[in-house]
């Protein structure tokens, strides 16, 4: 039904899109959690209100990404996850803490709200650090040596700060007044995480693998690829300029930091995808070697082609319904 | 302890914690839709109050179900890589369909259902409620298809040790799927029936006379009384299906060692795998034969048939299966007595006439459904041992090569988190019940207006 050679490629693309959507979408709500200690209680309520209707669906992109890895590349799924056993466990406990703290902080007796806020922050931090660590380990070829762990700790910190940047950008978009002004300061404080993280990965990736080095610095590819870092650099400069002027009197351009952060993440993602293609386990297993049986991939693809547009449709619907500045959350 | 045993304990701990919450949300979604539709039709405030109270319980349970479910999807890879490597071609698409057709539907419309009442038209809010309930049920469908296939695998072929799907229709509608699905959906209904009855009884005992308390109590008891006989029938049919496809499991459930007729129904026994016999048997003569074969002389398979020539045991561990089964049936019988006695008293005397000890009893049974559901799952899952996929893949061959200390340390962390969350969950549920139906908001927002 489908070309057996094309199927693994399609699924690799689908998984990439899911990971990208996850990093952008859960990135902003994880970032909001990371910023909790800097906000007053009423501000925390409003920050939660700004992500309340979305966080659950945002996290589902992670389930889809890991699901595609599981079903389309079963061998790679085992290899990658057993290598990342510990950070995965830390991330899962973090996701559990923060997911439930969302509900408990609103429903527990009043005196218990503060501990649940701490749990929400701690869970967000564990998740962000673990994901950054896994990113670093993946770039380093999933080997546990001191140097590689040190690099992964660097990316862990950088991704957490980058998430706090996109979280702050979301708060700028979804709120106004004092909280919005605070968020501009948070964004100024967090943008370096974005730069450091993307810079570290960009420098390290070609150094770890001669193959990747060659892919980037060979002529004429180097000319075609040059816009990627140049655009990223330009965007960072524009983001910094906009943050110096925000918030504006009529709230214009409050969307810009969030949009800029998203574009940065998309650029970074394409850079990584270009580097690692065609490998799914870096330098060991290509997407064709790791792919599941053609019949099984075909039947998943049929369902995906039917259902994915619907998912995107009602996801957009939810964002439209809850557009505008965040207000108090209520079930009535 | 070795990695295999630790990984099994870890997976059991995760899935036991996880299943508690879907067991609530699967049925509670439909119950919420019912409350919403009753309100749309009658305009009676008490239905909306019921909706607003139980939607909080739903949101909390849903969050716990989501986060513990994410854990499961990762643990396939971290602890059981052999599972996907061998049967991934079947398990993969089934899991993928669960994510695609259920998870996103639930997650997106949950946001609209919870927070959208004042932002969307009434019909869209009702539709969102329906889609969330539908999504949870779809999720149950796909995961039970996969689980049933692991018990009664068909529609596949094995080439070079790897399973390939041949007939998807046969895989989805595998022999045990309809029974297992029905049994689980009914279990969810009963869990919610007793949850609603129990918490309403608790509120009534505390003197909360809001109209929705009495309605909730009547609703819970009635739902339990209607579902429990259906569940007993479905459970019996599920058992007969298991007898056909997994006789060793049924032999362990009955504690029956020798294949023979006139097998008694054991009410109590201590099965001993060393001596391969039971101590302290108390049973009803020939009753197991009657239940399983509809004939006192009916021959029921015994555990000794499932021992290889060289002495290798090919049947599941007997005591856990034997006792889990009895706990499940025991709670089921208690539910039968409680709901029918309650329904009779409600019919004769109304809520005001319910005696206090009965109300305390219902309060004590608030989470009875959890007990029965867990015991039932232990029966069927331990009863599949030593297989992971019956006749295709053993548990031992699927486990990942992780250092035992790493599995142990993460296991301790997970269990600590789960116990804390479980305590917090039960505490908050009763806290919500104590706060009761005090809602300050007027019935003015558009989402709450009756449809007519």
Q: What is the pLDDT of residues A233-256, one digit of tens each?
A: 899 999 998 888 878 888 888 888
Q: Give the C-alpha separation, A79 to B222, whole Å.
A: 51
Measure CA B38 to chain center. Answer: 27
DSSP A195-208: HHHHHHHHHHHHHH
pLDDT at A192 over 60: yes
- State the Cα–Cα distance between residues A263 and B423, nearest whole angstrom: 43
Q: How far is CA A293 from the centre of its chain?
A: 30
Interchain CB contact of B386 with A (< 8 Å): no
Task: Give the Å distances, CA to CA, from B109 to A55, A321, B224.
Answer: 12, 11, 28
Interchain CB distance below 8 Å, B108 and A315: yes
Query: What is the residue-level pLDDT of chain B in tens, covering all 452 positions?
Result: 688 889 999 999 999 999 999 999 999 999 999 999 999 899 888 898 899 899 999 999 998 998 888 888 788 778 888 888 888 888 888 988 888 888 888 888 888 888 888 888 888 899 999 999 999 999 999 999 999 999 999 999 998 888 998 899 999 999 999 999 999 999 999 999 999 999 999 999 988 888 889 999 999 999 999 999 999 999 999 988 998 899 889 888 988 888 888 888 888 888 888 888 888 888 888 888 888 888 888 888 888 888 888 878 888 999 999 999 999 999 999 999 999 999 999 998 888 888 999 999 999 999 999 999 999 999 999 999 889 999 899 988 888 878 888 889 889 999 999 999 999 999 999 988 888 755 444 443 333 433 33
Measured between beta carbons, which residues in chain A are less than 8 angstroms from residue B431?
107-109
Terminal Cα distance for chain A, rounded:
49
Strand partners, B265: B284
Rg of chain B in Å (alpha carbons): 23
Is B268 in a helix, a strand, or coil? strand
Q: How close A202 comes to chain B (CA, Å)?
A: 28
Query: How far is B130 from chain A, CA to nearest CA, in Å?
Result: 15
- C-alpha span between A226 and A232 (Å, rounded): 10
Task: Please give the Cα distance from B193 to B224 (Å, whole number).
Answer: 5
Contacts of A63 (CB under 8 A, 6+ apart): B69, B70, B73, B99, B103
| Residue partners of B265: CB distance under 8 A and separation at least 6 | B254, B283, B284, B287, B288, B291
Measure CA A281 to chain center.
20
User: Hey, is the C-beta of A304 within 8 angstroms of any chain B C-beta?
Assistant: yes
Using CA atoms, how far apart are residues A242 and B223, in angstroms rounded to an integer?
A: 59
CA gap A86, A77 in Å, rounded: 15
Q: Which pLDDT value is given to residue B61?
A: 93
| Number of separate helices (H) and strands (E) present in chain B | 15, 6
Note whether B432 contacts A66, CB cutoff 8 Å: no
Neighbours of B34 (CB within 10 A): 17
Q: Residue A278: is the preceding peptide bond cis (ω within 30°)? A: yes
Of B264, B221, B238, B236, nearest to B359 (Cα)? B221
Any bridge partners for residue A47, and if so which? none
Chain B residues inside the 8 Å CB shell of A2: none
Residues 6+ apart with CB under 8 A from A106: A48, A329
Dist CA B239 CA B249 (whole Å): 10
* b/e burial code for range A102-135 (CB count within 10 A of at least 16 → b): bbbbbbbeeebbeebbebbbbbbbbbbbbbbbbb
Distance between CA atoms of A151 and A201, rounded to whole angstroms?
9
- CB of A104 within 8 Å of a chain B CB? The answer is yes
In the numeric block, which tokens belong to residue A121?
Answer: 């922050």
């Amino acid at each position: 039904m489908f070309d057996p050679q094309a199927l693994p490629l399609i699924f690799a693309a689908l998984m990439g899109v899911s990971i990208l959507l996850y990093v952008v979408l859960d990135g902003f709500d994880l970032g909001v959690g990371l910023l909790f200690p800097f906000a007053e209680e009423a501000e925390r309520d409003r920050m939660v209100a700004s992500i309340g209707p979305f966080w659950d669906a945002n996290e589902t992109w992670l389930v889809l990404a890991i699901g595609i890895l599981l079903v389309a590349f079963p061998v790679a799924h085992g290899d990658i996850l057993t290598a990342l056993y510990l950070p995965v466990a830390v991330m899962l406990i973090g996701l559990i803490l923060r997911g439930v703290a969302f509900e408990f902080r609103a429903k527990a007796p009043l005196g218990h709200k503060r501990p649940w806020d701490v749990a929400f922050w701690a869970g967000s931090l564990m998740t962000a650090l673990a994901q950054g660590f896994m990113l670093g380990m993946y770039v380093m070829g999933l080997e546990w040596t001191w140097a590689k762990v040190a690099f992964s700790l660097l990316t862990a910190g950088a991704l957490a700060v980058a998430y706090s940047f996109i979280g702050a950008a979301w708060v700028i978009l979804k709120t106004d007044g004092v909280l919005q002004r605070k968020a501009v300061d948070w964004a100024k404080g967090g943008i370096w995480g974005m730069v450091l993280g993307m810079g570290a990965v960009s420098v390290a990736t070609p150094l770890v693998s001669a193959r990747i080095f060659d892919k980037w610095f060979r002529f004429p590819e180097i000319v075609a690829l040059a816009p990627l870092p140049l655009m990223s650099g330009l965007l960072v400069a524009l983001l910094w300029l906009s943050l110096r002027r925000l918030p504006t009197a009529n709230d214009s351009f409050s969307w810009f930091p969030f949009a800029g952060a998203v574009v940065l993440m998309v650029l970074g993602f394409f850079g990584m995808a270009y580097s690692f293609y065609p490998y799914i386990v870096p330098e060991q297993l290509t997407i064709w070697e790791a792919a599941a049986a053609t019949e099984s991939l075909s039947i998943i693809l049929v369902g995906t082609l039917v259902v994915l547009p619907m998912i995107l449709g009602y996801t957009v619907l939810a964002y439209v319904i809850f557009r505008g500045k965040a207000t108090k959350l209520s079930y009535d | 302890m070795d990695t295999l045993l630790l990984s099994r304990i870890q997976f059991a701990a995760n899935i036991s914690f996880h299943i508690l919450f879907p067991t609530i949300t699967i049925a509670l979604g439909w119950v919420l839709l019912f409350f919403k539709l009753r309100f749309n039709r009658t305009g009676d405030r008490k239905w909306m109050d019921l909706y607003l109270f139980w939607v909080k319980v739903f949101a909390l349970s849903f969050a716990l179900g989501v986060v513990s479910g994410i854990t499961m999807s990762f643990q396939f890879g971290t602890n059981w890589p052999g599972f996907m490597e061998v049967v991934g071609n079947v398990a993969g698409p089934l899991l993928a369909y669960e994510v695609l057709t259920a998870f996103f539907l639930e997650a997106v419309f949950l946001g609209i259902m919870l927070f959208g009442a004042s932002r969307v038209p009434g019909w869209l809010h009702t539709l969102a409620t329906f889609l969330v309930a539908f999504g949870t049920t779809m999720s149950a469908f796909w995961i039970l298809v996969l689980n049933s296939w692991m018990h009664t695998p068909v529609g596949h072929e094995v080439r070079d040790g790897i399973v390939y799907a041949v007939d998807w229709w046969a895989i989805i509608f595998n022999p045990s799927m309809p029974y297992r699905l029905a049994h689980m959906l009914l279990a969810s209904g009963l869990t919610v029936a007793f949850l609603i009855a129990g918490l309403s009884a608790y509120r009534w005992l505390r003197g909360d006379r809001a109209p929705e308390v009495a309605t909730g109590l009547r609703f819970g008891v009635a739902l339990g009384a209607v579902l429990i006989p259906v569940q007993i029938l479905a459970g019996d049919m599920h058992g007969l299906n298991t007898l056909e496809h997994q006789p060793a499991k049924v032999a362990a459930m009955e504690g029956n060692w020798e294949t023979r007729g006139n097998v008694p129904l054991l009410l109590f026994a201590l099965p001993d795998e060393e001596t391969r016999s039971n101590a302290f048997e108390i049973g009803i003569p020939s009753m197991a034969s009657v239940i399983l074969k509809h004939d006192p002389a009916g021959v029921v398979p015994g555990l000794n048939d499932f021992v290889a020539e060289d002495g290798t045991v090919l049947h599941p561990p007997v005591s856990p299966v034997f006792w889990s089964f009895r706990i499940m049936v025991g709670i089921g019988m208690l539910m039968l007595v409680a709901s029918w006695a309650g329904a009779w008293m409600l019919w004769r005397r109304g809520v005001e006439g319910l005696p206090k000890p009965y109300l305390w009893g219902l309060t004590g049974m608030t989470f009875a459904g959890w007990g029965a559901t867990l015991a039932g799952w232990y029966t069927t899952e331990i009863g599949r041992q030593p297989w992971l996929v019956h006749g295709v893949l053993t548990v031992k061959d699927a486990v990942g090569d992780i250092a035992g200390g790493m599995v142990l340390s993460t296991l301790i962390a997970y269990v600590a988190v789960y116990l804390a969350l479980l305590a917090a969950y039960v505490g908050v549920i009763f806290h919500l019940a104590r706060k009761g139906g005090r809602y300050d908001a007027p019935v003015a927002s558009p989402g709450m207006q009756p449809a007519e």
